[in-house]
Chains A and B, each alone.
Chain A
Amino acid sequence: MKRSRIPLYTTLVCLLFFYLPIIILIVNSFNKSRFGSVWGGFSLRWYQKLMENRDVWFALKNTAIIAVSATIVSMVLGTLAAFALHRYRSRLQNAHYTLVYTPLVVPDILMGMSLLLLFVQVKVQLSLFTIFLAHVTFCISYVAMVVLARLQDFDFSVVEAARDLGASTRQVVTGVLLPLLAPGILAGGLLAFTLSIDDFVITFFVAGPGSTTLPIQIYSMIKHGSPPVINALSTILLAVTFVMVWLSQRLTEEKTTS
């Protein structure tokens, strides 16, 4: 039976579609010429310009503060939520599940809009803090889903074994469950971190003066700035993304080898 070649060709077309724009962007970040369609020779001048851009550094600092804090808080809340959802089957958990799942599919603009209204109504000044609150809100759900998926594959006989050997609940959690689930929790955290770094729409709604993040900075550069500098910035971010994906794959691979 000969296999159809349509799937192969579609996959190749999709991969080309995915990567061609990205590759051109990377190449152009090293292009001496200002115009993308002409190769003016290799140059790092756009990277140099980027380094001199103080707005970018300022935005990067804000992004880092928010990403780190939002990741830590959402990892704790998301892991707890996953435990509850896995362990109990009740009306409460049905409601809980809906509450955790819904933010995953609600369009960003709705979440941004509704949080803005909340902050305006309770008269909270828009700032880095409001961005942090917003980021934790959407990251919880992602962490919870990643950890929940891990829990579903988890062999709970090791918990019974630990209990059988005399471990207390606390010892089971700290000595057995958390270490074994650590890769899953870290993978969830990594996803939260990436989402936080990347988020533009929600942040745009709840950002106040002086709380520009990197995506907001990129957005305003796309609207008003110089394309080659954005190319350079994009290339750096792509490299970071690549490392992140590789790391998270490593974390998920551990599951299959152990």
Chain B
Amino acid sequence: MPSTMDTSIQIEGVTKRFGSFAAVDNVSASIARGEVFSLLGPSGCGKTTLLRMIAGFEQPDEGRILLDGEDITDLPPNRRKVNTIFQNYALFPHMTVRDNIGYGLKVAGRAGAEIRSEVDRMLDLIQMGDHAGKKPSQISGGQKQRVAIARALINKPRVLLLDEPLAALDLKLRQRMLIELDNIHDEVGITFLYVTHDQGEAMSLSDTIAVMNKGKIEQTGRPEQIYEAPRSSFVAAFIGDTNFFEGKVTAVLDDEYSRMTIEDLGEVLVFNDKRIQVGSPVHLSLRPEKFRISRESPPENGRTNRLEGVVEDIVYLGSHTRYWVNVKDYRIAVTQQHGRFLLDEKPVAWNDRVFVWWHADDGFMLEQYREDDEELLTSPGE
């Protein structure tokens, strides 16, 4: 967690166009000192362009970028106190691991003995002391990654920029490196700006996540805010998976709850996530794991909603199972963890008539809805 909450990087109304296409469109953000800040979004959303502008590889067409309060918009990359971890690591192939790590100090004109001892310290940190004399082509992907980190950190940057640093690694290694990155962050305590398209990485590493789409930041917040309280259909659908329902408010019961009607499905109880009136249109996002599924009717409870349908598809995924339940032509995605109880009762099978139910608090009202975003939802295999 960040110790002091002052600003490390301030992005003010930054726009970058390539031809007539705005890769980054009037983006503002503020990154606190010492935090891990993630830019999360699909490829082409502008997150890498934004990172490259902070690194100094691209020049914004409009707006300013401030580092610790100082305007760095026009500084060339070699004069910015930020360092970058590149997606493909960009290790110099003709230099040894040692020379790669020491490059920044050498360029800065530091003495040979000092460089040697600093590099040794870094080699210790990344546990690569035995590989100091090797060339990048002789070490593994995970090791390259660590060398890239050491090469950046040795310069004591104020901010470390990480551009999809784990994308080139396989799953297991990715998970291990994620923990290592977390440990390194705890150790050095500097600001990390982490660019990724992988929500899992962003969730597990970040203090703050900014979700980007089409050159704009859609929502900024803590990981749990982004997941549990998505502002838009894009955020809801891009992070994790969800079901969308569209309806109209029929009654506002009190400060907390209202009733809304969804076409064909009837009336359901909803939590007031925003200010609503009778008659307002509402878009509800319901994550698959918020549902329960069973063949028997659920116990009655004033706060739950219940639907009845037929199981259309079942996909066993190890830690959980995903069901697609057809309720009056709505295909509802439901996931269920495997608990012990499954051993006792007869499991839900294909074509079974089932009940799905959820607590009114678990649905979330979106502020912004675009139909296109439904494309992002997981569809059942044909």
Taking the complex as a whole, does A directly touch B, i.e. does some CB pair lie under 8 Å apart?
A: yes
A191 to chain B, nearest CB (A): 32
B72-89 CB mask vs A (1 if < 8 Å, else 0) is 000011000000000000
A1 beta carbon closer than 8 Å to chain B: yes
Write the residues of chain A forming the contact surface with B, with a CB cutoff of 8 angstroms. Answer: 1-2
A245 to chain B, nearest CB (A): 31
How far is A43 from B77 in the complex, measured between Cα atoms in Å? 59
Identify 7 residue pairs between A and B in the complex whose beta-carbon atoms are under 8 Å apart, listed by A's number: A1-B56, A1-B57, A1-B58, A1-B59, A1-B76, A1-B77, A2-B59
Across the A-B interface, the 6 shortest Cβ-Cβ residue pairs: A1-B57, A1-B56, A1-B77, A1-B76, A1-B59, A1-B58
Chain B residues with CB under 8 A of A1: 56-59, 76-77
A91 to chain B, nearest CB (A): 27
Chain A residues with CB under 8 A of B58: 1
Closest to A2 in B: B59
A244 to chain B, nearest CB (A): 36
How far is A2 from B58 in the complex, measured between Cα atoms in Å? 8
A43 to chain B, nearest CB (A): 47
Chain A residues with CB under 8 A of B56: 1
B257-293 CB mask vs A (1 if < 8 Å, else 0) is 0000000000000000000000000000000000000
B140-179 CB mask vs A (1 if < 8 Å, else 0) is 0000000000000000000000000000000000000000
Closest to A1 in B: B57
How far is A1 from B77 in the complex, measured between Cα atoms in Å? 7
Chain A residues with CB under 8 A of B76: 1
Chain A contact residues, majority secondary structure:
loop
Number of interface residues of B (CB under 8 A): 6
Chain A residues with CB under 8 A of B59: 1-2
A5 to chain B, nearest CB (A): 15
A2 to chain B, nearest CB (A): 7
B46-64 CB mask vs A (1 if < 8 Å, else 0) is 0000000000111100000
How far is A1 from B58 in the complex, measured between Cα atoms in Å? 5
How far is A2 from B77 in the complex, measured between Cα atoms in Å? 10
How far is A74 from B274 in the complex, measured between Cα atoms in Å? 81
B22-65 CB mask vs A (1 if < 8 Å, else 0) is 00000000000000000000000000000000001111000000
How far is A2 from B78 in the complex, measured between Cα atoms in Å? 12
Chain B residues with CB under 8 A of A2: 59
Closest to B58 in A: A1
B296 to chain A, nearest CB (A): 54
How far is A157 from B19 in the complex, measured between Cα atoms in Å? 42
A146 to chain B, nearest CB (A): 28
Closest to B57 in A: A1
B208 to chain A, nearest CB (A): 27
B239-272 CB mask vs A (1 if < 8 Å, else 0) is 0000000000000000000000000000000000
B18 to chain A, nearest CB (A): 15
How far is A41 from B370 in the complex, measured between Cα atoms in Å? 69
B23 to chain A, nearest CB (A): 16
How far is A1 from B78 in the complex, measured between Cα atoms in Å? 10
How far is A2 from B57 in the complex, measured between Cα atoms in Å? 8
A3 to chain B, nearest CB (A): 11
Closest to B75 in A: A1
Closest to B78 in A: A1
How far is A234 from B53 in the complex, measured between Cα atoms in Å? 52
A169 to chain B, nearest CB (A): 37
Closest to B74 in A: A2
A21 to chain B, nearest CB (A): 37
How far is A2 from B76 in the complex, measured between Cα atoms in Å? 8
B329 to chain A, nearest CB (A): 45
Closest to B52 in A: A1
A65 to chain B, nearest CB (A): 50
How far is A1 from B56 in the complex, measured between Cα atoms in Å? 6
A111 to chain B, nearest CB (A): 36
How far is A1 from B60 in the complex, measured between Cα atoms in Å? 10
B282-311 CB mask vs A (1 if < 8 Å, else 0) is 000000000000000000000000000000
How far is A2 from B59 in the complex, measured between Cα atoms in Å? 8
How far is A1 from B57 in the complex, measured between Cα atoms in Å? 5
How far is A2 from B60 in the complex, measured between Cα atoms in Å? 11
How far is A99 from B56 in the complex, measured between Cα atoms in Å? 51
Chain A residues with CB under 8 A of B57: 1
B79 to chain A, nearest CB (A): 11
How far is A162 from B58 in the complex, measured between Cα atoms in Å? 50
How far is A1 from B72 in the complex, measured between Cα atoms in Å? 12
How far is A2 from B56 in the complex, measured between Cα atoms in Å? 10
A166 to chain B, nearest CB (A): 34
Closest to B53 in A: A1
B49 to chain A, nearest CB (A): 13
How far is A190 from B57 in the complex, measured between Cα atoms in Å? 44
How far is A1 from B73 in the complex, measured between Cα atoms in Å? 10
B16 to chain A, nearest CB (A): 13
A124 to chain B, nearest CB (A): 51
